[in-house]
Amino acid sequence: MRSIGNALLDTVKHLNIVRNLPKYFDEEEQRLAVQSVIIGVVVWAIVYSLKTSVHWMFETILHFVEEGPSPWLLFIPLLLGSLVVAWLARVRPSTLYYRDKDDHIHELNDVEGDGLERAISLYYTSEPSFEQALTGREGVEVRWELPTFSLAIRKFLATLATMGTGGSGGLEASVTLIGESVSAGLFKPRHLADNSPYQPKFFGRFWNWWYADKTDHLQTAQLSGIAAAVSVLLGTPFAAAFFASEVMYRYRPVIEKLVYALISAMVAFFLNDLVTEGHPVPFKTELIFVPPSTLHYFAILLVLGICVSLVSQYFRRLRVSFEHGFHERQPDIWRRHLLGAFVTGSVALIVHYVTQYFQLTDHGLEMVLGPGETIVNMAFAGELTVTVALMALVAKMVATLATITSGGSAGLLVPTLFFGTMVASALANVFDYEPMVLIVPAMVASLVSIANVPLAAILFAVEAFGSVYMVPALFMMVIGTILAHEQTIYRTQRETYESRQILPGVSVRHLSIPASWTNQTLIDIDFRRHFDLNVIGLVEYRTNEGRPRMRLGTASSTVLEEGDTLVVLGRDEKLAELEAFLEAEYAKKEPREGKEPTEQSGS
């Protein structure tokens, strides 16, 4: 009896774990969770307002054009919208930079074009690096030197002006920049906090608790804002959180940040669900068709994956041509935006008259203008012929690139889904398949081949269309990953830690020393005179303790060892010359290494 009583007492005593639960959920986790919820609510309110406004405005203008005396009237809103975006791009602009695969530096206006590229650049501004240390800027203050709420407002208005008036593209990329800017702005230090009379009692304590003083905390908030924004539009919170993580980290998803991004995405999803009838997925499907599991079906998926990959490669090359045409040949911002709107409107008119003349469809303008969700829904319903699907694919590709590369505020994510859908719709007609069983895998292939977000692509298919599409989605992910390699439409992802700019044309590189420099010093090599570059650091392969060590401002008399890494600062053209020299030095070593076994065997 005594043992039973002791057991009961222990049971009651251990119930104190409920009372002590806050101790297991530490203060930092509490703060991050609360921040994620608040970010989700604020971002949802802004993005939902933008989505509703864009759809209402676009449908109103489209109805006016279709019911008006002439479809040529569509040029009026398109041209006016382009002028508004050009004006917004000149209001308190901030310039971001990215380096292309040919090592050329390009400028990005913060309002123009694909907002996700800007969001990626802004995400990494607060990350510690040699570049920030050299320019005297470091930490979260670097991000707050750039616009936050003002950028979100300007991007909101620019997207409304572009998409609401008929510009071709998607909303997702634009809202990611809005989500990033809003979440960063929520933690930006304000003078109100310093001047508040209630600061000692309440406001100051709250701000000290709320304030993001570390890069990791700020990036968690930024990732949460991006995930919440995408969740509002796609209605798939898990895919939205993974999309945000994959876009920022490519092959290095960070699970800790992913958790808080998922909290924001789910908050935005539930709020969206409260005000939206039915499941808030952008595409309407009355029935979910179960895909077959035959070899014939998977053989068609293989063909589909190859076709989507070819489309993605063509799209990337076409984008480079359009950017060169708009930015190099038309540097004036006003004429560039007007020209982009004119090209978009001209493509829409051509498609409208062709489809009317041959009686192909009554939705010729919607095949080109706007986000294209109506045409995707028609594809799901099996209402598109092979001719219409291929015409929509080509026309949408040209119009979207004209809108975005000229500076219009729109994104490439929904057009990515649109391209895959059109390819699948054409093949569904050819092979006599239910369109959905090919469209859903094609969407996965598009997201992998063009946007390079494989995990988010699979989760989107499963969340939006059910677990029955898991195997086809996995199959298409493998095909897309093999064919796409590391290609991506988001150019700001291409930069790596070995090559980051400090100023346009000035960079820092991490370069391994060749064997020919072993046991020599920088003085022996005469590094400064030969290469016209500055060595600002040395990563020693081995130290006296047997561990790698970083030295800043290394002495010219330091003896170099094989495996050491030099941190070099200088002009890009000089760095390129040094890299070419080192590659030649590395190549000299390989033949010698290959001959050693023969020489040893001969002896």
List pLDDT tens digits, range 231-244. 998 888 999 998 99
* Assigned domain for 500 exists: no
- 535 close to 566: Cβ distance less than 8 angstroms: yes
Position 164 confidence tier, pLDDT thresholds 50, 70, 90: very high
The pLDDT of residue 412 is above 90:
no
CA distance 224 to 241: 8
Predicted pLDDT at 418: 93
Predicted pLDDT at 601: 33
Assign residue 92 a region: left if phi > 0, alpha if psi is -120 to 50, beta otherwise? left
Query: Considering 493, 515, 543, which residue would you say is the last residue of a domain?
Result: 493
Judgement on whether residues 463 and 584 belong to the same structural domain of the protein: no
More confident call, 317 vs 213:
317
Judgement on whether residues 438 and 512 belong to the same structural domain of the protein: no
pLDDT digit string, tens, across residues 248-260: 876 565 667 888 8
* Assigned domain for 346 exists: yes
The pLDDT of residue 344 is above 50:
yes
Beta bridge partners of 512: 565
CA distance 531 to 578: 7
The pLDDT of residue 17 is above 90:
no
Nearest to 448 by CA among 298, 311, 289: 311
Judgement on whether residues 78 and 227 belong to the same structural domain of the protein: yes
Work out the angle at residue 494's Cα, subtended by the Cα atoms of residues 493 and 499, and round it to the nearest 5 degrees.
120
Cβ contacts of 299 within 8 Å, gap of 6 or more: none
* Assigned domain for 54 exists: yes
CA distance 52 to 408: 19
Position 268 confidence tier, pLDDT thresholds 50, 70, 90: very high
* Assigned domain for 2 exists: no
Q: In which domain, by residue range, is 318 found?
A: 295-493
Which secondary-structure segment (H or E) carries 509? strand 506-512
The pLDDT of residue 407 is above 60:
yes
267-283 CB burial, b ≥16 within 10 A, e <16: bbbebbeeeeeeebbbb
328-352: average pLDDT:
92
The pLDDT of residue 566 is above 50:
yes
DSSP 117-134: HHHHHHHTTTS--HHHHH
* Assigned domain for 10 exists: no
Position 547 confidence tier, pLDDT thresholds 50, 70, 90: very low
For the chain, the domain total comes to 3
CA distance 370 to 402: 13
* Assigned domain for 1 exists: no
C-alpha count within 13 angstroms, C-beta hemisphere, residue 1? 0
Work out the angle at residue 228's Cα, subtended by the Cα atoms of residues 227 and 234, and round it to the nearest 5 degrees.
85
Predicted pLDDT at 593: 44
Please count the helices (runs of H) and the strands (runs of E) in the chain. Answer: 26, 7
Judgement on whether residues 256 and 365 belong to the same structural domain of the protein: no
Judgement on whether residues 141 and 249 belong to the same structural domain of the protein: yes
pLDDT digit string, tens, across residues 82-131: 999 999 998 888 877 665 555 556 678 889 988 888 888 888 887 755 55
Judgement on whether residues 313 and 443 belong to the same structural domain of the protein: yes
Which secondary-structure segment (H or E) carries 525? helix 522-525
CATH number for the domain spanning 249: value is 1.10.3080.10
Position 594 confidence tier, pLDDT thresholds 50, 70, 90: very low
* Assigned domain for 283 exists: no
Work out the angle at residue 271's Cα, subtended by the Cα atoms of residues 267 and 273, and round it to the nearest 5 degrees.
115
Assign residue 466 a region: left if phi > 0, alpha if psi is -120 to 50, beta otherwise? left
Counting every residue written for the chain, the total comes to 603
330 by Cβ neighbours in 10 Å (0-12 / 13-18 / 19+) ranks as middle
In Å, how far from its chain's centre is CA 191? 32
Predicted pLDDT at 272: 87
CA distance 338 to 84: 10
């002028």: which residue's tokens? Answer: 83
The pLDDT of residue 369 is above 60:
yes
Predicted pLDDT at 50: 95
More confident call, 206 vs 45:
45
Task: Give the pairing of strands 499-503 and 506-512.
Answer: antiparallel
CA distance 219 to 249: 12
């796609």: which residue's tokens? Answer: 234
- CA distances to 87, 90, 95, 115, 514 from 109, rounded to whole Å, are 12, 9, 5, 10, 40
The pLDDT of residue 497 is above 70:
no
pLDDT digit string, tens, across residues 440-476: 999 999 988 887 888 889 999 999 898 999 999 999 9
Judgement on whether residues 441 and 536 belong to the same structural domain of the protein: no
Task: Give the pairing of strands 534-540 and 565-571.
Answer: antiparallel
Helix or strand or coil: residue 499?
A: strand
Q: What percent of the chain has pLDDT over 70?
A: 77
- 120 close to 248: Cβ distance less than 8 angstroms: yes
* Assigned domain for 5 exists: no
The pLDDT of residue 572 is above 50:
yes
Beta bridge partners of 503: 506
Terminal CA-CA length for the chain: 87
Judgement on whether residues 518 and 487 belong to the same structural domain of the protein: no
Q: Looking at this protein, which amino acid is placed at residue 394?
A: V
The pLDDT of residue 229 is above 90:
yes
CA distance 55 to 186: 28
Q: What is the rounded average pLDDT for all residues in the chain?
A: 81
CA distance 310 to 307: 5
Query: Considering 227, 246, 275, which residue would you say is the last residue of a domain?
Result: 275
Predicted pLDDT at 487: 65
CA distance 107 to 94: 10
Predicted pLDDT at 264: 93
| Tokens found for residue 424 | 């699948």
- 418 close to 370: Cβ distance less than 8 angstroms: no
Position 278 confidence tier, pLDDT thresholds 50, 70, 90: low
Nearest to 268 by CA among 239, 233, 217, 243: 233
């495996």: which residue's tokens? Answer: 563
Judgement on whether residues 37 and 112 belong to the same structural domain of the protein: yes
Cβ contacts of 490 within 8 Å, gap of 6 or more: 114, 116, 117, 120, 247, 451, 452
Predicted pLDDT at 228: 95
Judgement on whether residues 225 and 341 belong to the same structural domain of the protein: no
């700001």: which residue's tokens? Answer: 492
- 340 close to 165: Cβ distance less than 8 angstroms: no
CA distance 599 to 382: 70
CATH number for the domain spanning 530: value is 3.30.70.1450
Query: Considering 433, 460, 493, which residue would you say is the last residue of a domain?
Result: 493
3-state helix, strand, coil in the chain (%, to 5): 65, 5, 25
Cβ contacts of 113 within 8 Å, gap of 6 or more: 404, 405, 407, 408, 409
Judgement on whether residues 117 and 230 belong to the same structural domain of the protein: yes
Judgement on whether residues 489 and 521 belong to the same structural domain of the protein: no
